[in-house]
Amino acid sequence: MIEVNQIKKKFYDKKNGNFYALKDISFTVNKGEIFGLLGPNGAGKTTLLRIMASIMQATSGHVKVNGYDSKNEAEAVKKSIAFLSGNTKLYKKLTPVETMRFFGKLYGIDKQLIEKRIDTILNTLDMYSFKDRVIEKLSTGQVQKTSIARCMIHDPQIYILDEPTLGLDILTSRTIIDFIQTEKTRGKTIIFSTHYMEEADTLCDRIGLIHEGDLIETGTLEELKLKTGKGNIREIFLSYIDRSEPFDRIK
């Protein structure tokens, strides 16, 4: 479903010159899988997800999403995914319902199907209480729900979510986690980044540990526990960072 092959991304910084935000990263995500990219701020998670979503081009390497090349078939990639980032902006003068209708029309969805999907999404994300309020008057959690609703309207096969619960209260976070779990039961493929260790524990079929632009390990939680001898994902991640000699890679 998603193939990431030897991705490198070079940037230029006035102070330090050229540097690599991503260093030869490769992994796959299977259909119907929840794959978590886990790492601290600045690890390269957002850059990697933007390349996967065809929003940014890699310096070298290539990505295939749903069979499409992210560089040469960018429009096909974008039609088959939903991408959510902290930098995703909404039209402040529209309501959540108007926003979903607008994006539904952009995707060429039939009007009756748009209305049916809107009703389903409002129920799934518990949005009825603010569905007709303009976005500029919504809380942070309500805006994030609207952003996710916008992602859901075309019923994508793949979700690419960058820190979807960042800065949200516990109730809104629970709604979004429930949404991710529900979409998995519908056979959707989901890749998301987080630095919240507990989310990775709860949600992920497999986890990729990323640090300073390197993908240092991938595996199931049980595989990582067995390999490191640690009991939770926080201890697992720190064991890789603190260890002077690397563990053997999981096959």
Per-residue pLDDT of the chain (251 residues; tens, 9 = 90+): 899 999 999 998 887 788 899 999 999 999 999 999 998 888 999 999 999 999 999 999 999 999 999 989 999 999 899 999 876 789 999 999 999 999 999 999 999 999 999 999 999 999 999 999 999 999 999 999 999 999 999 999 999 999 998 888 888 888 889 999 999 999 999 999 988 888 888 899 999 999 999 999 999 999 999 999 998 888 998 998 887 455 666 65
Token readout for 28 is 């796959």
How many angstroms separate the CA atoms of 129 and 38, rounded?
33
Q: Domains in the chain, please, with CATH?
A: 2-85+156-234 (3.40.50.300)
pLDDT reported for residue 160: 95
Task: Give me the DSSP letters along 6-31.
Answer: EEEEEEEETTTEEEEEEEEEEEEE-T
What pLDDT score does 135 carry?
96
> At 167, phi and psi to the nearest 5?
75, 10
Closest among 63, 57, 36 to 164, alpha carbons compared:
36
Choose among 215, 245, 239: nearest CA to 226: 239
> What is 223-236 written as a DSSP string?
HHHHHH--SSHHHH
Q: For residue 72, what are the CA distances in angstroms to 4, 65, 68, 222? A: 15, 11, 8, 37
Half-sphere exposure of 41 (CA within 13 A, CB side): 2
Element at 65 (helix H, strand E):
strand 60-65
Q: What is the pLDDT of residue 168?
A: 86
User: pTM value?
Assistant: 0.89
